[in-house]
Amino acid sequence: MRRLAIYPGTFDPPTLGHLDVIERASALFDNLVVAIGVNKAKSPLLSNDERLEILQNSVLHLKNVKVEAFEGLLVDFAHRHKAKSIVRGLRATADFEYEFQMAMINRRLAEDIDSVFLMTRWDYSYLSSSIVREVALLGGDYHPMVPAAAIPVIEGALAKRRETNQHRDTLVV
């Protein structure tokens, strides 16, 4: 029997903390699907295709990992893949309450799927996509916080955003 796990997230943008969890989970499971959640209610910095591109390029060295986007309930996605485990990363105690709640609702919806928690490496315990996004948007150096494959994609997204904002400013004046 092959052990398959799902590692879900929005990954906007993917961070080195995400990559750390992916690498460690890929060593624990025969196969790992990194599942990019599509939430139409959010307005992300990166498009689904951009996040897919970054993650696919960041996991090329991991032959048992594939990356997919999904919509809807995570447990339905897991069932479609016949996965029995959902991997989640924990950075600090602040993550625990939210992750515990999600694990319990997923357990309620699908008793056959277990949540597996991996503590992130200490070096990445402060990283989150929202912090990296904010640093990038404010012009700070986010490069040491993301996989190398993310840098040109994020730069492109930031340039598009600046262009859009400039255009908006000229329309208002």
Active site residue ranges: 18, 42, 91, 129
Q: Give the long-range contacts of residues 156-160, CB within 8 A, separation 24 or more.
A: 156/50, 157/45, 157/46, 157/47, 157/50, 158/45
Are 34 and 22 a contacting pair, CB within 8 Å?
A: yes
Q: How far is Cα of residue 48 from the mean position of the Cα atoms in its chain? A: 11
Furthest-apart CA pair in the chain: how many Å?
64
7: phi then psi, degrees, rounded to nearest 5: -115, 100
- Say how far apart CA 100 and CA 83 lie, in whole Å: 19
What is the number of H-type helices and E-type strands within the chain?
6, 5
Q: Which of 102, 42, 33 is nearest to 73 (CA)?
A: 102
